[in-house]
C-alpha cells in the first residue's frame, strides 16, 4: 500500500466508525420510531460513505488513466468532506473536519 491508499483506508475506517445508528441506546427499549429516526439521520452519511467507497475501488484499480485518477480522487475527496460536514450538522457534538493523520 502506498501513502494515499493508507490514508484512504484510515479515513474510510473512521467514517464507518462514525456511523453507529443505535449507539447510546443500549439497555433501552427501542421502538420502531426510534430506530426509524436513527436511520433517517444516518442515511445521508451512508450515501457519502458509499460514494467514497466506490471512488476508492476505482482508485485501487491498477490500470487507469491520469484523467480517471483525477476524477475519482476529486469524487473521493468531495464525498469525505461532505460526510464530515453532514456529520457535524446532524450531530452537533461531532467535528466537521477530516481526521488528522500524523503517522503517515
Residue 41, C-alpha cell as written in the block:
439521520
Listed residue (8, 98, 4, 97) closest to 51, CA to CA = 8
How far are the Cα atoms of 37, 41, 44, 69 from residue 57, in angstroms, in the given order? 31, 26, 20, 11
pLDDT in tens, the chain (104 residues): 788 889 999 999 999 888 865 555 555 667 778 777 777 878 899 999 999 999 999 998 867 788 889 999 999 999 999 999 999 888 887 777 887 777 75
> Per-residue DSSP letters for the chain?
--HHHHHHHHHHHHHHHH--TTTT-TTSPPPHHHHHHHHHHHHHHHHHHHHHHHHHHHHH-SS--HHHHHHHHHHHHHHHHHHHHHHHHHSTTS-SSPPP----
pTM here is 0.81
Amino acid at each position: 500500500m502506498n501513502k494515499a491508499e493508507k490514508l484512504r483506508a484510515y479515513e474510510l475506517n473512521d467514517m464507518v466508525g462514525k456511523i453507529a445508528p443505535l449507539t447510546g441506546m443500549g439497555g433501552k427499549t427501542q421502538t420502531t420510531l426510534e430506530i426509524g429516526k436513527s436511520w433517517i439521520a444516518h442515511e445521508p452519511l451512508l450515501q457519502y460513505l458509499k460514494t467514497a467507497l466506490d471512488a476508492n475501488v476505482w482508485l485501487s484499480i491498477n490500470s487507469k488513466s491520469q484523467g480517471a485518477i483525477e476524477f475519482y480522487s476529486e469524487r473521493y475527496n468531495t464525498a469525505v468532506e461532505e460526510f464530515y460536514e453532514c456529520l457535524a450538522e446532524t450531530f452537533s457534538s461531532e467535528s466537521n473536519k477530516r481526521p488528522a493523520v500524523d503517522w503517515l
